[in-house]
Amino acid sequence: MTPIPDTTGHLPVPSIDDLSVLEVLALTLAHETGQLVHEGRPADLANTTGTKTSDTDPVTVMDTRAEEHLRRRLRAARPDDGLQGEEGSSIPSRSGLTWVVDPIDGTTNYLYDLPLYAVSVAVVVGDPTTPGAWRPVAGAVRAPALDITWSARAGGGAWRRGPARPWDVAGPGGEPPAVPARVGRQSHLGPALVGTGFGYQPERRAQQAEVLTRVLPAVRDLRRMGSAAIDLCLVGDGRLDGFFEVGLNPWDLAAGWLVVTEAGGSVSGVGGGAPGVDLVVAANPALHPRLLALLESPA
């Protein structure tokens, strides 16, 4: 089994065969957890929510139930791998691989019964708690209310599985076929449709509002979906030309980051460095530097 070359030059990547197994497991867990959160959504979430970072940042009972499901399944399937979860799961890795999971990305959408929420499951090499010291190698994002799944593995391309169309040939299990995902070809800001997201802290929202005054006049339009994982996959799928956001954690971006890059796109952070909490910018390779320069231009 020949390892895939590591383009970062310092983080080892599992073999092609191992990556295929990891992608299948990510897909399986994303589907299982997506079904759990979608079918198990209470009719009234008003009395089942707490808060995380602020009074406007909800955490539901289902968030914690879904993460516990992921933790239990991963401990059984991959006992030597680490785990980092949005709802607090933290298990050190003995294998060099760590699963980074978000049981419900877009919790506010889930709270309001809006369909733009997703389960994000990724496995990474390196230390996901240290900015710039890790990279995703396999992952999947499942949007259960939309019946769409994106997945990718290092060197294996990115794929979308969505509601079957009349002319599609179903897979062996009756599921919709996998369609290659490719980033769009828009190379200029003016005609670009760009996604973004907002934090929950008032101070961060004020800063993000200032950035919008520079970005909105320079692009075709902005979209705010409410799920960074979905936004990134839409860039990888060519449905958005670009995406940017501040405040994203590894579980928000790991699987979507890989979908974008395996779909032919670029993902970076400040100054073109590794994406992280300070900034995530995603687009095709021609548009990416222009969007990054716009975001980093003086106020």
Annotated binding site: 86, 102, 104-105, 252
Each of the 299 residues of the chain gets a pLDDT tens digit; together they read: 233 333 444 678 899 999 999 999 999 999 999 999 999 887 766 555 565 655 545 567 888 999 999 999 999 999 999 999 987 889 999 999 999 999 999 999 998 899 999 999 999 999 999 989 999 999 999 999 999 999 999 999 999 998 766 656 665 555 678 899 999 999 999 999 999 999 878 888 888 899 999 999 999 999 999 999 999 999 999 999 999 999 999 999 999 999 999 999 999 999 999 999 999 999 999 999 999 999 999 86
- State the Cα–Cα distance between residues 271 and 31, nearest whole angstrom: 36
For 2, half-sphere exposure in the C-beta direction (CA atoms, 13 angstrom radius) is 3
User: Rounded to whole angstroms, how far apart are CA atoms 45 and 246?
Assistant: 28
Q: Which helix (H) or strand (E) holds 68?
A: helix 61-77
For tokens 């530097």, the residue is 289
CATH of domain 193-295: 3.40.190.80
- Residue 9, both tokens: 């030059």
**Which residue positions form the known binding site for Mg(2+)?**
86, 102, 104-105, 252
Residues whose CB is less than 8 angstroms from the CB of residue 67 and which lie 6 or more positions away in sequence, other chains included: 85, 86, 87, 88, 89, 101, 103
> Domain 16-180 is classified in which CATH homologous superfamily?
Fructose-1,6-Bisphosphatase, subunit A, domain 1 (3.30.540.10)
Residues of the chain with CATH 3.30.540.10: 16-180
CB 227 within 8 A of CB 116: yes
Residues of the chain with CATH 3.40.190.80: 193-295
* pTM across the whole model: 0.90
- What backbone torsions phi and psi does residue 105 show, to the nearest 5 degrees? -90, 115
